[in-house]
Amino acid sequence: MNIGNGNITQALEQCKQDLENFKNAKVKCGIIGRSGTGKSSLINAIVGEEVSAVGEIETTMKISEPIEHKGLLFYDLPGSSTINFPMDTYIETMGIKNFDCVILVTSDRFFEDDLYLITEIAKLKIPVFPVRTKLDFSIDRALKRGITEEETYNSIYADLKKSLENYNVKGIYLTSADYPTRYDLNKLLDDISNSLNSIKRERFIADVNVISHNLLKEKRDLSTKLISRYAALSAANGLNPIPGLDISVDLGLLYKMSTDIQEIYGLKKEQIHYSSTLLGDNKSKVIVAKAVQFASKYIGREAILLLLKKAGMGFAKKEISKWIPFVGQAIAAGLGYKMTSSIGDEMLTDAEDIASQTFEAIKGV
């Protein structure tokens, strides 16, 4: 049974490397804007979790540690128009050259110092994404004066477009932290993810909130890849025997697989809590219950072992034990792979189902 062993070793090495890359990738995102423009709210809306305190006034104008959400690092930076940060040293002082992208935030329009920054950052070949926050607020105000939502959107967009006409920006994004699925937040996330290399891109797709159908699809593609990497390694590592079967898997890896999927689809407690605040108690009840159910079915070594036992019963047990002595571990590992990946697929379908329901519910708010 030597056929293709070299290739198998190579393929497993690749799986291991891909998982390491996924685990260690960091996406560094500078987020620049005056205090009160909605930077913290925007960060929270992007990741779908309250990672940055909202309404906190920045009194000390110092460079803070990044706000971290798994592989995403947000450097929350004050605008350059303060006496503490003279414009000519701003880029240097803030370490902007190390960022993967910069989001430039305003809640009204862009001023001279913003435009200066765009020019300077573009020189470093770092993509700049200008964001106009609190669109809901502008729309509500205009509605009271008989102006439609569409008219408000179009006129704000046109004004910004005009002011940014001669500047090298990736687009113009109108957003509301209270309505993350409306307006341009999804376009912002698509455009940022497309500006990243493939390793950082996987991380970004995994760590952002589910706010569009496109992201659901991207998350599915990524999860499918992760599951097959985890399943292959878990079967090859074969550390933990599955009771009643002559098959061993690496439960630690499967445990990682399930927590990855849980987080990618926003089903962790803190993530569900964030969705619940957008939805209100009543509408989030079912979703909260489903997330709890998901955790008890898939998270933890005991839970996974139980799933494996059940899956094992599906494979004619006698058949497996009859063949293993003759063809050895290769077949056992093959079956281990089949079982773990089938559990992964089931988990993925369940997670996607809950995330998609949550997304639809938020859209309906």
What does 176 bind: ligand GDP, Mg ion, none (CB cut-off 5 to 8 Å by kind)? ligand GDP
| Cβ 273 to ligand GDP shortest distance, Å | 17
Helix (H, G, I), strand (E, B) or coil at 75: strand
* Of the candidate residues 15, 25, 30, 37, the single one contacting ligand GDP (CB under 6 A): 37
**d(C-alpha 222, C-alpha 355), whole Å:** 15
Listed residue (152, 93, 91, 149) closest to 123, CA to CA? 91
Helix (H, G, I), strand (E, B) or coil at 118: helix
Helix (H, G, I), strand (E, B) or coil at 30: strand
* Of the candidate residues 16, 21, 35, 238, the single one contacting ligand GDP (CB under 6 A): 35
| Cβ 37 to ligand GDP shortest distance, Å | 4
Residues in 116-155 that interact with Mg ion by CB under 5 A: none
Helix (H, G, I), strand (E, B) or coil at 130: strand
Residue at 181: amino acid letter: T
Residue at 219: amino acid letter: K
Residues in 147-176 that interact with ligand GDP by CB under 6 A: 176
Q: Candidates 40-48, 207-215, 242-250, 296-304: pick the segment binding Mg ion (CB under 5 A).
A: 40-48
What does 6 bind: ligand GDP, Mg ion, none (CB cut-off 5 to 8 Å by kind)? none
- The reply on whether position 41 binds Mg ion by CB under 5 A is no
- The reply on whether position 328 binds ligand GDP by CB under 6 A is no
Task: Cite the DSSP H helix spans in the chain.
Answer: 5-24, 39-47, 87-93, 112-123, 135-144, 149-163, 185-194, 198-207, 213-237, 251-264, 269-279, 281-298, 301-314, 317-327, 329-363
Q: Candidates 129-137, 184-192, 301-309, 317-325: pick the segment binding ligand GDP (CB under 6 A).
A: 129-137
| Cβ 138 to ligand GDP shortest distance, Å | 9
Site residues (CB under 5 A) for Mg ion?
40
Site residues (CB under 6 A) for ligand GDP?
33, 35-41, 54-56, 133-134, 136-137, 176-178
